[in-house]
Amino acid sequence: MPVALNLRRVVPLLATLLLALGAPRALAEDAPPSTSGRSEVAEVVVDSPDKTKHGTVSSYAQLGAGDLVDDEELKKVERRLLATGLFQEVHARTEPLPDGRVRLMLAVKDKASWVVAPTVALSSGNTGGGVLYAENNLAGRAKKFAAGVQVSTGESGLFVGYLDPLVFGFPQLKFSLEGLLRSDRVDEYLPDASQDDPAVVRRTRLNSASVAGELGFILFERVRAAAKYRLSSIDAQSPDPEKPVTEQAFSTGPSLLDTSLRFMVGLDSRQTLHAVTEGINVEGSYEVSAPGVGSEFRYRKFGVLYRHGVRFFTENNLILRGELSVGKDLPFHQELVMGGNTLRGFQYRQFRGDTRLTFTAEYHFPLFTIKSLAFRGVGFSDTGVIAFRELPASGQLRDANGRVIRGYLPESKSGLENATVAQGVGAGLRLYLSNVVLPLLGVDVAYGVNSGQLRVYLVAGVTPS
């Protein structure tokens, strides 16, 4: 029973910071009167006995000298600090001052900010494991670093990533940098979701090295935009001669340079408080690869993403996720895939295409708690539609120099009328430690509605996903 794994993303990205500057205490005759029952903040005092710097805490609070505060605003401050994922406990209160203003008191207790944990992949198509190191609060300033290595039959590689959510002290800016060395065994299957045990029709080894940087900004806490530049080298080996199809899916020879520029804009009001996510995220993206950005490829991708978290009965959580992705002239290594973590109940990357629509609904609920360890259950439904809109008559997609960048299987059909529609349903278990920034374990059992097969997906320690 397969276990899905994805090496592309290692460390979760947390909320950005807003820097608040303290002001000296004013004389009573200089202090403006309070407005609508709200008091003016004279100064911010932080009680942070652990690693996190006082400036980082006050920046996340987004409330400083000169701002007005009441009980409702104090609740918002506590939510902002908890949503960072850095703290086990947060307490915000005010102390009155003789001049009628107040002193804002912030007391926090840190979580363990770093983790060294195993990664595990166990399935007929991908067996192996590795180790991951992640630091979520470098020098107490909420900067993030992660490094991981994995060796498995399906995909092996090395990942390094860094995120600065407060560039040059500006809370509106964030910057990330990541590098990846990867050797990927890409298996292709017949496009039939009803197969009990889908057989590998073609197997290709793709080796790649990439580096990417992203600069983003946030306005009004909700409007987010980013630009990402990626530079990678792609090299393919000859297909496995033991499989039925031996024609190349990607030409062998000198490695090709694939660079792309991606733009994203959207609204994001989500907050995660003690494993429960609330709020909505809607965003659109456009990615282009062309000689104008330094690439030897020409392709485009469009995407629309929707995510929504709703809290029920204090600790219950409904999480919805929908995504539409559309590609144009996608090479083999950039093709859209479905199956495994993106569609539980089916083989890892079982389905391929240039157009994909997915929707996932998960309901998380508490089971029991042992000290700081919380056990939570989840029921889920994954639905996906994927297709090739239009295939070349020759069955091959070539670049400007005539190299094959995608050789399609003989059985491949184009058009939305030939789209693959698949659904998986199931249940799982999640374990969370309240004093650690990342979850420990996840297990999902999924039933493929089309195939009638049960599959198990295991997350042991922390997975790069």
Domains in the chain and their CATH numbers? Answer: 28-110 (3.10.20.310), 114-460 (2.40.160.50)
Residue 176 contacts by C-beta under 8 Å, 6 or more apart in sequence?
13, 161, 162, 163, 164, 213, 214, 216
pTM (global) more than 0.85 = no
Assigned token pair, 52: 């996190």
Q: State the Cα–Cα distance between residues 288 and 294, nearest whole angstrom.
A: 11
pLDDT band at 459 (very low <50, low <70, confident <90, very high): low
Greater confidence, 27 or 190?
A: 190
pLDDT band at residue 262 using 50, 70 and 90 as cut-offs: very high
Q: What phi and psi, each to the nearest 5 degrees, are found at residue 417?
A: -70, -15
> 201 near 189, Cβ under 8 Å?
yes
Query: What is the average pLDDT score of the chain?
Result: 86
Comparing C-alpha atoms, which of 162, 187, 186, 189 is closest to residue 174? 162
CA distance 105 to 376: 33
Using CA atoms, how far residue 91 sits from 45, 48, 50, 97, in Å, is 12, 11, 15, 19
What is the tens place of the pLDDT at every residue in 34-73? 445 789 999 999 998 888 888 888 888 888 899 999 999 9
Residue-wise pLDDT for 150-200, tens only, equals 998 888 999 999 999 878 767 778 999 999 999 999 999 998 999 988 999
Model confidence pLDDT, tens digit, residues 226-236: 999 999 999 99
Compute the distance between CA of residue 10 and CA of residue 163 in angstroms, rounded to an integer.
12
**Quick one: pLDDT at residue 7?**
38
The pLDDT of 420-431, averaged and rounded, is 95
End-to-end, the C-alpha distance of the chain in Å comes to 19
Q: Which residue has the tokens 């996510």?
A: 277
pLDDT of 301 reads 98
